[in-house]
Chain A
Amino acid sequence: MAGFLKVLLRNVLQGPSTDPYPLGPTFSPDSIRGKVVVDPTMCIGCGMCVHVCTAGAINIQHNENGHVITIYRNSCCLCANCHLYCPTGAITLTDDWHSAHEQAVKYQQIEQQHIDYEPCLGCGTPVRVMPLALVSKLYAGKPDVDPEHVRHLCPRCRQMEDAVRTYNLQHPEAPASGNDEA
């Protein structure tokens, strides 16, 4: 018994260990996995996050002028699979763990981003403008490419330009035989 009495006495001397929350601040580390947010400048709507999400909390709707990504907080199990597998790093988990809400606002607990498409500079079809960071990474070894121009092209026009550049062709309308290597 003496062993535990020692512990008791020490704990009494230490004073209360109660966390004052919610009447005061609480311990909350930065690395905590909280609400998921999407960076609309980086999301390319590839659907990898939907593929790896176990809880089915992510939905991506494509239409002709853009795509909408919705993450339902009430389904999200905070496993960070979407963050891990997102190829562009668009999804991050914030440290916002304040999740309690009333039933009336249940369906408003979402993270939604609308990503609008812009006409392709080459052919005019609506296209997802590539994130600048991604283009800079892709064309890192090619100083002659203007990232600002390339990112506004649709994949087909980009392939054309790549082919033209790679094989020193004269016109973008030239046969697209070099597509595979582009």
Chain B
Amino acid sequence: MSGTKTFSMPLGPVHVALEEPVYFNLTVEGEIVRKTHLTSGHVHRGMEALAMRRNIFQNATLVERVCSLCSNSHSFTYAMVVENALCMHIPERARYLRVIAEETKRIASHLFNTAIQAHIIGFHSLFMHVMEVRELMQDMKETVYGNRMNIAANCVGGAKQDINLKKQEYILKQLELIEPQIREIQDIYANDPMVHTRTYGLGLLPVDDAIALGVVGPVARGSGITDDCRKDSPYAAYGDLDFNVITETGCCAWSRVQVRLRECYESLSLIRQCIDRMPEGDIRAPLGKLTVNSAVARTEAPRGEVFYFIRTNGTDVPERLKWRVPSYMNWEALSVMMKDCNVADVALITNSIDPCVSCTER
């Protein structure tokens, strides 16, 4: 390309490769992307305004619909922030139940992202295989909680439903089935030449940039930053459980997927530990006193740190409910990752941060 000509290439908002409506305007020079411009707001549903019109019980359901892939993290953090504002202490058993729900969703979410990566690479048989493995998790959610996506495990004060012995046995059985499959999948993603050549070294986010941009979750951990709310400020039962924070130092799309898949093992072990150590007892605490108060809470969602703020005014309708989602931080990193990449890599790099448009735009 001697006479450098740039073209602008629109992508979206409704496109077969996009799960969610976003409008990309790429400025390309031949095959190389020189500039990306993003128009968002298609999934804006005015949820923060809605949350200020609904009461605290309704909001537990509303925030679960921020995004269905990390739905449990939202209702979890929301329940925590309300409990902080109302000075409530939840029963010990509920803490463990919450961890089980959260880790179940985490495995399903990570497997979904991993599968989509194979889909974008064009490795459809691998995509289908990972999705079939994910179905084991989906069946587990449906059998234990009653829904495949919005599991409604949390309510203000504890957990909505108990997991009895029969269900515990079922969970352990499903985990037994899924563990070797995930190990196999991790090996394929790590060593398969097709996946490796396509993703290794792609979408580089050096450590300095990662720190400067404040990325969170597997994107940060894929760049070698040890950042995990579950360890940094233990909540629910995480303080009593043993697990490792997974990091990779490759700073690329391959590393992020490896972080996600290796986190699945930690999640499997966390669920097993919870079932093992879960004490008997109540699963819900009575509602605390509604006063004028404000509180914050943060948890580690599959995509990174979710942060909630609430201000109550003595009624059961919050005066302000505000949340920050991990994708908001990670979106910015795309400009670093996509610098001078090929057009064919745009979708792959975007997927590597596990973007959630509906979280970010809510």
Say yes or no: is B282 at the interface (Cβ < 8 Å to chain A). Answer: no
Q: Which residues of B contact A54 (CB under 8 A)?
A: 54, 58-59, 61-62
Say yes or no: is B147 at the interface (Cβ < 8 Å to chain A). Answer: yes
Say yes or no: is B14 at the interface (Cβ < 8 Å to chain A). Answer: no
Nearest opposing residue in chain B for A83, CB measure: B160
CB-contacts of A7-42 with B (<8 A): 7-8, 11, 17, 27, 29, 31-33
Nearest opposing residue in chain A for B148, CB measure: A32
Residue contact A7 to B142, C-beta cutoff 8 Å: no
Residue contact B188 to A7, C-beta cutoff 8 Å: yes
CB-contacts of B44-79 with A (<8 A): 54-55, 57-62, 64-65
Say yes or no: is B139 at the interface (Cβ < 8 Å to chain A). Answer: yes
> What is the CA–CA distance of A3 and B193 in the complex, to the nearest angstrom?
10
Residue contact A7 to B129, C-beta cutoff 8 Å: yes
Instruction: Classify the secondary structure of A's interface with B.
Output: loop
Say yes or no: is B125 at the interface (Cβ < 8 Å to chain A). Answer: yes
Using a Cβ–Cβ cut-off of 8 Å, how many residues does chain A contribute to the interface with B?
25
Nearest opposing residue in chain A for B143, CB measure: A29
Contact of A29 among B60, B142, B188 (CB under 8 A): B142
Query: Which of A4, A7, A55 has the most B CB atoms < 10 Å from its CB?
Result: A4
Using a Cβ–Cβ cut-off of 8 Å, how many residues does chain B contribute to the interface with A?
33
CB-contacts of B116-169 with A (<8 A): 125-126, 129, 132, 139, 142-147, 150, 152, 155, 160-161
Q: Which residues of A contact B161 (CB under 8 A)?
A: 80
Residue contact B187 to A3, C-beta cutoff 8 Å: yes
Residue contact B61 to A4, C-beta cutoff 8 Å: no
Q: Which residues of B contact A17 (CB under 8 A)?
A: 132
Residue contact B58 to A3, C-beta cutoff 8 Å: no
Q: Which residues of B contact A27 (CB under 8 A)?
A: 139
CB-contacts of A32-90 with B (<8 A): 32-33, 51-55, 77-81, 84-85
> What is the CA–CA distance of A28 and B191 in the complex, to the nearest angstrom?
37
Give the 9 A-B residue pairs with the shortest CB-CB distance, closest first: A33-B146, A54-B61, A54-B58, A79-B61, A29-B143, A52-B57, A3-B188, A79-B152, A31-B146
A contacts, CB < 8 Å to B: 1, 3-4, 7-8, 11, 17, 27, 29, 31-33, 51-55, 77-81, 84-85, 93
Q: What are 23 pairs between A and B in contact, CB < 8 Å?
A: A1-B192, A3-B191, A4-B125, A4-B129, A7-B188, A17-B132, A31-B143, A31-B146, A32-B146, A32-B147, A33-B152, A52-B55, A52-B57, A52-B58, A77-B65, A78-B146, A78-B150, A78-B152, A79-B150, A79-B152, A80-B152, A81-B57, A93-B146
Given contacts A3-B191, A54-B59, A55-B61, 7 further A-B contacts (CB under 8 A): A4-B129, A31-B145, A31-B146, A32-B142, A51-B57, A79-B152, A81-B57
